[in-house]
Homo-oligomer: A and B are copies of this chain.
Amino acid sequence: MSDTSAASTNAHHLTTPNTVVSTSKAAARIRVAAAEAFAENGYGGTTTRDIAARLGLSPAAMYPHYKSKEELLFAISYEGHLKCVELLTEADEPGAAPTARLVSVVSAFTSWQATHHVRGMVVQYELTALSPEHYREILTLRREISRIIERIIREGAQDGSFVVPDVAGVNLAINSLCVDVCRWFPGGGFTDPDAVADLYAELALRLVGATR
């Protein structure tokens, strides 16, 4: 329980100091247009002029909101990662059994990656374009996501709900499965995020060796 409270506090703390994800409607529109441009042409193949043009703006009109393409990428990435931290924190039910908690968290994470797969691709695959400082901020959020799932696996292994030879390795695999959904979805016969979420919750239980 104390561990979980720490996670909520962290998630809250992480929203406080960062003002790059502005709540203004204009800034939000710019982030959406930028994410679409990055998804279509790659970060390296997109200019701030391209992004402004999508909105019928001059590059100068965008400047008060975002000073550079990198700052925009960071804002999009930060927003996406923070949403996932919040989503998983909310999906986790610290009082419930590890099996129910894993199902809930993996379903939520999978469903998000499927629903937001275009933005997810940008968020996941352009990380190397971030400045070192911004990259570190994103890593903090990624570790938080990983920790939420790892905590459930560890608690399940401790109370006998799961049989896990390698908690860190299984956690890595579950995170990898969920994140990779944005690369292939829709595909493989799946067009409904909920259907993938149900399958992956079931497969996560297999990966942790749920005894039920």
The residues of A with any CB-CB pair to B shorter than 8 Å are 41-46, 121, 124-126, 129, 165-166, 168-170, 172-173, 176-177, 179-181, 183-184, 188-190, 199-200, 202-203, 206-207, 209
Contact = CB atoms under 8 A, between A and B. Distances in A.
Secondary structure dominating the interface of A: helix
Contacts of A173: 177, 199-200, 203
A169 to B, nearest CB: 5
A181 B207 CA distance: 17
A19 B153 CA distance: 49
Given A45-B44, A46-B44, A125-B183, A188 B172 contact: yes
Contacts of A166: 199
A188 B200 contact: no
A43 B41 CA distance: 9
A45 to B, nearest CB: 2
